[in-house]
């Protein structure tokens, strides 16, 4: 596995090439008014601030920050996310096509599944489907009897 090693605000980042690519793509094309502050990238949250009133800068922005524990990026928005989330989950919320591509890239690099912060593509259909709903048609058929 090839990692890009950078030092930013005194923190050594062991960012994978894949994460770097998606992070830069998000910053260049998908996130608004990105600022670097205290080791975080801060931006207007595409989930809840895209139609904010223009000219008002009192709103808190969402943030992308480096998690040393996971050696990976985490996203958070104090307005709409209750807890920090992974790059994969964040992409699922803002751009599903990018999320699937990211997951495939991680899968091919052997960095999905158990012990990673990105599920295997094969697990995807289960992670979308709340427990108990997998066999909904059968249950509905039962209800109508
Ligand atoms: Zn938000």
What spacing in Å lies between the alpha carbon of 143 and ligand 1's midpoint?
Answer: 39
Q: How much distance in Å is there from the Cα of 141 to the middle of ligand 1?
A: 39
pLDDT tens profile 83-125: 999 999 999 999 999 999 999 999 999 999 999 999 998 754 5
Average pLDDT, the chain: 81
- Do the beta carbons of residue 54 and residue 41 sit within 8 Å? no
Instruction: Label residue 144 by pLDDT band (50, 70, 90).
Output: very low
Q: How confident is the model over 35-47, as pLDDT tens digits?
A: 999 889 999 999 9
- Measured in Å, residue 98 CA sits from the centre of ligand 1 at 19
Query: Cα(24) to centroid of ligand 1, in Å?
Result: 19
Percent of the chain with pLDDT over 70: 72
Residues in the chain: 145
Q: For the whole model, what pTM was predicted?
A: 0.74
Query: How confident is the model over 123-136, as pLDDT tens digits?
Result: 545 445 445 444 44
Note the pLDDT tens digit of each residue in 47-61.
998 888 776 656 788
pLDDT above 90 covers what percent of the chain? 56
With residues binned 3-state (H G I as helix, E B as strand, rest as coil), the percentages for the chain, rounded to 5, are: 35, 25, 40
State in Å: Cα 64 to ligand 1 middle. 12
Residue 99 alpha carbon to ligand 1 centre in Å: 18
Question: What separation in Å is there between the alpha carbon of 135 and the centre of ligand 1?
Answer: 33
What is the distance between the alpha carbons of residues 62 and 43, in angstroms, rounded to a whole number? 5
CA distance 47 to 27: 15
Kindly report the backbone phi and psi dihedral angles of residue 21, in degrees, each rounded to the nearest multiple of 5, phi listed first. Answer: -60, -45
Cα gap 6→15, rounded to integer Å = 8
For residues 52 and 74, what is the distance between their CA atoms, to the nearest angstrom?
Answer: 23
Element (H, E) at 103: helix 96-108
């Amino acid at each position: 596995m090839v990692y890009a090693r950078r030092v930013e605000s005194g923190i050594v980042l062991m960012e994978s090439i894949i994460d770097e690519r998606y992070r830069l793509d998000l910053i260049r094309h998908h996130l608004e008014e990105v600022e670097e502050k205290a080791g975080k990238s801060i931006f207007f949250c595409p989930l809840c601030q895209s139609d904010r009133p223009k000219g008002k800068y009192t709103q808190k922005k969402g943030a992308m920050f480096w998690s040393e524990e996971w050696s990976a990026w985490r996203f958070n928005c104090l307005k709409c996310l209750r807890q920090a989330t992974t790059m994969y989950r964040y992409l699922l919320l803002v751009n599903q096509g990018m999320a699937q591509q990211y997951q495939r890239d991680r899968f091919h690099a052997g960095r999905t599944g158990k012990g990673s912060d990105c599920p295997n593509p094969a697990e995807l259909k289960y992670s979308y489907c709340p427990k108990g709903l997998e066999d909904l048609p059968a249950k509905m058929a039962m209800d109508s009897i």
